[in-house]
Amino acid sequence: MEHMKTILGVDPGTARVGWGVIEDDKGVIRAKAYGCITTDKIDLPQDRLAQIYASFTKLLNTYHPDEIGVEDLYFSTNAKTAIAVGQARGVILLVAAQAHIPLASYSPGTVKKTICGSGSAEKAQVGKMVTRILRLKEVPTPDDTADALAIAVTHGFSYKLKTKTS
């Protein structure tokens, strides 16, 4: 018998960490809360990471997720950006480990394919589909927040498949 599961989706970054909490109650998925942790680019890198650490810890203490879904590091052409995002992602992984919360990673393509049916979907499509799936009144902003909710929904679908095939 399935029980209600609270899932936190995370789109990591240094300037913005999108987050979204969903609840899955026997197949009925709804958004519980969502938002974005922001840091100021004039702050030192270590201070920005400390802010992410403190804010993410507070999120876990507020919403008590059963599981966390986080986006994999996506490396395109800017190595400097990828390293900074990797550092922020590392902070997220550390906080989850310290809280003993199971975590799974998803590639951007997997999230897009799960939510929109195509791994090459545009950000706007992802936002619109998340809005439809979660029955929200408007597309969550910024994009990082919509992406985080998409990651949470992807994780929700993923754990259901695992429990049905186990």
Active site residues: 11, 71, 144
Angstrom distance (rounded) from CA 89 to CA 70: 8
DSSP string, 86-130: HHHHHHHHHHHHHTT--EEEE-HHHHHHHHHS-TT--HHHHHHHH
DSSP 8-state code for residue 61: H
